[in-house]
């Protein structure tokens, strides 16, 4: 079943309403900053702790990710300057590069190539497309399509998330797939963006947090004590 890795639940009180709608839509997992542990199970739904990084100071971001990697199942960074985006793309501790809602920054080819090697995925959130219209929506969509095309050309994974701030802004996996077509994905790519890639990110990080994995393909297992 599909996952939505970017749901902006405001507080624990609202969590129940999001879970109720998520079940009705056919989703099985949500990524949100409103989660007190790495992963919680509630009413058949898996809730994963997410941390969203952004900023202009590379040194500070490096420090934050070093301290936060083992505090969240999902770590994302908002696409910004080329230097910061390329650092994040080349650091396997970063799971997602999230396109900014403002459309100020787009994915660059060098960033996509680095991300393809580390397994970091491009995250496209649909909320800006739903709350705008006319020229504003057209400009956002154009920027999204350009970034998605760049990602696909470099064989970088793509994830589609809602960015929902209310339960009714979430969308079903089928609806997200249709939006994937608009973004320039074919059916197989759209399905992977909603089902396969989010699950791969979550499962890998659950293993990472249980073992000393330095980078993808290189791990040190903890010695068992008798």
pLDDT in tens, the chain (226 residues): 689 999 999 988 899 999 999 999 999 999 999 887 888 888 889 999 999 998 888 889 999 888 888 889 999 999 999 999 999 999 999 999 999 987 788 999 999 999 999 999 999 999 999 888 899 899 999 999 999 999 999 999 999 999 999 999 999 999 999 999 999 999 999 999 999 999 999 999 988 777 554 445 545 444 444 4
Q: Which domain holds residue 135?
A: 51-210
Residue 82 lies in a domain: yes
- Give the DSSP per-residue string, the chain: -EEES-B---SHHHHHHHHHHHHHHTEEEEEES--SSSEEEETTEEEEEEEEE--S-HHHHHHHHHHHGGG-SEEEEE--SHHHHHHHHH-TT--EEEPPTT------HHHHHHHHHHT-EEEEESHHHHH--HHHHHHHHHHHHHHHHHHHHTT--EEEE--BSSGGG---HHHHHHHHHHHT--HHHHHIIIIIHHHHHHHHHHHHHHTEEEETTEEEPPPPP-
Report yes or no on 223 lying in a domain. no
Q: What is the pLDDT of residues 158-199, one digit of tens each?
A: 999 999 999 999 999 999 999 999 999 999 999 999 999 999
CATH number of the domain within which 136 lies: 3.20.20.140
Token digits of residue 32: 């949100």
pLDDT score at 43: 86
Query: Does the residue 39 lie in any domain?
Result: no
Task: Give a yes or no: residue 7 inside a domain.
Answer: no
Predicted TM-score (pTM) of the model is 0.89
Residue 40: inside a domain: no
Kindly state whether residue 197 falls inside one of the protein's structural domains. yes
The answer as to whether 29 is a domain residue is no
| Total domains, the chain | 1
Q: What angle do CA 63, 65, 70 make, to 5 degrees?
A: 125
**Does some domain include residue 169?**
yes
């Amino acid at each position: 079943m599909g996952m939505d890795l970017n749901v902006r639940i405001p507080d624990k009180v609202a969590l129940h309403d999001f879970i109720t709608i998520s079940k009705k839509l056919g989703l099985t997992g949500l990524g949100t900053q409103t989660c007190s542990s790495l992963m919680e199970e509630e009413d058949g739904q898996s809730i994963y702790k997410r941390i969203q990084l952004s900023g202009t100071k590379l040194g500070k971001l490096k420090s934050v990710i070093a301290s936060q990697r083992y505090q969240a199942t999902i770590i994302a960074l908002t696409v910004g300057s080329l230097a910061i985006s390329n650092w994040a793309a080349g650091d396997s501790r970063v799971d997602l590069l999230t396109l900014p809602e403002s459309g100020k920054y787009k994915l660059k080819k060098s960033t996509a190539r680095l991300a393809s090697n580390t397994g970091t995925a491009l995250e496209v959130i649909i909320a800006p497309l739903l709350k705008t219209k006319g020229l504003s929506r057209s400009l956002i969509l154009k920027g999204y399509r350009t970034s998605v095309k760049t990602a696909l050309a470099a064989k970088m994974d793509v994830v589609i998330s809602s960015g929902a701030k209310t339960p009714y802004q979430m969308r079903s996996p089928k609806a997200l797939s249709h939006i994937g077509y608009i973004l320039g994905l074919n059916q197989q790519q759209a399905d992977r963006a909603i089902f396969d890639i989010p699950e791969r990110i979550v499962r890998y990080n659950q293993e990472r947090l249980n073992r000393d994995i330095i980078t993808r393909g290189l791990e040190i297992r903890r010695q068992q004590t008798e």
